[in-house]
């Protein structure tokens, strides 16, 4: 089934999209050399390894709070608008193929479980980071799914609170949250790896009146 649990607010929800952006003008900063970065989604321009400087500062604080043997591993940060649009429309088309009975409106909502619509996407603002945990040698810990496994591939195990994961994976997800939540980041609950700060989803989740970061 492509539907999301009723208690998850999707990023396409009007409660998110209606929030204004008051762009603070903070620059993008290169994560490389400051935190561990994985190159699986590297692009020629190196966009993937950039985040708003304030978000990167918060991630460095989170890194320092982790227990020995654990490190943040950054997979993807900033995503150009054209790239975001292509990913969203590709996944939406896949949903129409898999579930031919769904309407265009339903496919838009369903796609937003996994990929943000471009008009509200936090990755295009440098406000979101996809990340996981690794050991000092860069070996990733069991998190229940791979980063970017979609709901169909993972049978819903990509949802942060999914019940169908191991006890170790659940503990690792809790450890990640325990490092990121105190520094102000919020999780997108359909993707355990997706955390953000300063975007509209963050504003909705924290009760803030507006987002700090808009598309770049």
- Interatomic CA distance for residues 6 and 4, integer angstroms: 6
Is 66 within 8 Å of 93 (Cβ atoms)?
no
DSSP 21-88: B----PPEEE-BTTBEE--TT--TT-GGGEEEHHHHHHHHHHHHHSPTT-EEEEEE----HHHHHHHH
Catalytic-residue membership of 191: yes
Q: Is 130 annotated as a binding residue?
A: yes
Tokens at 190, concatenated: 């359909």
Given the residues 60, 101, 181, 191, the one annotated as active site: 191
Q: Is 194 annotated as a binding residue?
A: yes
Is 113 within 8 Å of 68 (Cβ atoms)?
no
Q: Is 212 annotated as a binding residue?
A: no
Q: Would you list which residues are annotated within the binding site for Zn(2+)?
A: 123, 130, 194
Active-site residue list? 191
Binding site, residues? 123, 130, 194
């Amino acid at each position: 089934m492509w539907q999301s649990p009723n208690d998850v607010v999707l990023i396409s929800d009007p409660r998110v999209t209606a929030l204004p952006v008051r762009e603070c003008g903070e620059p993008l900063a290169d994560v490389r050399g400051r935190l561990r970065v994985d190159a699986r989604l590297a692009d020629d321009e190196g966009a993937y390894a950039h985040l708003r400087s304030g978000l990167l500062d918060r991630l460095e604080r989170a890194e320092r709070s982790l227990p020995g043997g654990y490190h943040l591993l950054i997979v993807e940060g900033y995503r150009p608008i054209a790239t975001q649009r292509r990913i969203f429309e590709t996944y939406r088309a896949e949903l129409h193929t898999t579930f031919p009975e769904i309407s265009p409106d339903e496919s838009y909502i369903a796609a937003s479980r996994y990929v943000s619509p471009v008009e509200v996407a936090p990755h295009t603002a440098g406000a979101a980071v996809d990340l996981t945990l690794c050991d000092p040698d860069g070996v990733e810990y069991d998190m229940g799914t791979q980063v970017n496994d979609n709901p169909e591939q993972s049978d819903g195990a990509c949802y942060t609170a999914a019940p169908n994961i191991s006890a170790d994976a659940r503990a690792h997800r809790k450890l990640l949250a325990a490092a990121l939540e105190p520094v102000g980041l919020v999780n997108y609950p359909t993707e355990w790896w997706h955390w953000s700060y300063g975007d509209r989803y963050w504003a909705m989740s924290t009760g803030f009146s507006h987002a700090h970061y808009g598309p770049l």
